[in-house]
Structure 1
Amino acid sequence: MTGTPSAWVARFAPLVPEGEVLDLACGGGRHARLFAAKGHPVLAVDRDLAALESAGGQGIATRAFDLEAEDMEWPFEESRFAGIVVTNYLHRPLFPHLFRSLAPGGILLYETFAAGNEQFGKPSNPAFLLRQGELLERVAEEDGLRVIAFEDGYVDGPKAAMVQRICVLKPLAEPRLCRIA
């Protein structure tokens, strides 16, 4: 989809600190363009070469990569991103990689379809639908991440759907415990 950015992503985009943004499974690049317009260098990744052609632009580097390949090794193991955006895409094995690749102070914006969406059309396969509260569970599995906002329910636009969306902050530093004498 090359259209308007998600209202969720646009709402929380100002929280992303200065630095590179990873737009994962970027499709036509609507979020890559949003962040590039805000002055962020963007890496837009998708396996669809045609989509990547429309995703590119000033401040946007593109990379063709199949995130679901059986022998996939996370190509960004050494990278740390100020922001990571994932919309309308779910591949559960990627969650630990996303959390590790988020820079301290960075923001993860994730929005995709949830259980119940089958009543509105595709996706309807449970493998591509988040279970109730699943994004919260995934974040809770990682130490130190802070949920800024979370929603799980019905939306009527841009089309009727059941979605989950989350905005997560990776704090700048681990809190330190002090002993009080």
Structure 2
Amino acid sequence: MFRYLHRPLMAQIHQAIAPAGLIIYETFITENRQFGRPNRDAFLLQENELNMLLQGWHCLHYFEGIKRNPDRAIAQIISQKPYV
């Protein structure tokens, strides 16, 4: 999932991923307002929110901050769903 945030879908995303399956997710954080859009709270993650949304999963990669070319503020995660 890239550059999309609709929090009500998170429960369905959790269910859709098979045990031991991976999620790769990247979207914008509140700091992105300095670069333009998206800039509404509904479309921006709060600090550490993406990590918390996947709490209990095995985190393989996490980044939260500013990237250049193009300038953007993002959070990205690769996590593995636990075995049942």
Report the TM-score range of the alignment, normalised by the length of the smaller protein: over 0.9
Structure 1, unaligned runs of 5 or more:
1-85, 175-181
Between structure 1 and structure 2, the one with the greater Rg is: 1
Distance in 2 between the 1:98 and 1:150 partners? 18
Deviations 1:72-124 (A, max 9, x none): xxxxxxxxxxxxxx101000011111111101221100000101101001001
The answer to which structure, 1 or 2, has the higher relative contact order (CA under 8 A, 6+ apart) is 2
Distance in 1 between the 2:10 and 2:63 partners? 18
* Identity score, percent: 33
Deviations 1:112-148 (A, max 9, x none): 01011010010011111000100011111xx4x2111
Distance in 2 between the 1:169 and 1:120 partners? 31
CA RMSD of aligned residues (A): 1.1
The residue number in structure 2 matching 1:125 is 40
Deviations 1:3-37 (A, max 9, x none): xxxxxxxxxxxxxxxxxxxxxxxxxxxxxxxxxxx
**Residue from 23, 29, 41 that aligns with 1:108:** 23
Amino acid across the alignment from 1:102: I
**Residue from 164, 169, 174 that aligns with 2:75:** 164
Deviating runs (4+, > 4 A) in structure 1?
none
Total equivalences in the alignment: 84
Structure 2, unaligned runs of 5 or more:
none
Amino acid across the alignment from 1:153: G
Amino acid across the alignment from 1:132: E
**Residue from 2, 10, 13 that aligns with 1:95:** 10
**Residue from 31, 34, 59 that aligns with 1:147:** 59
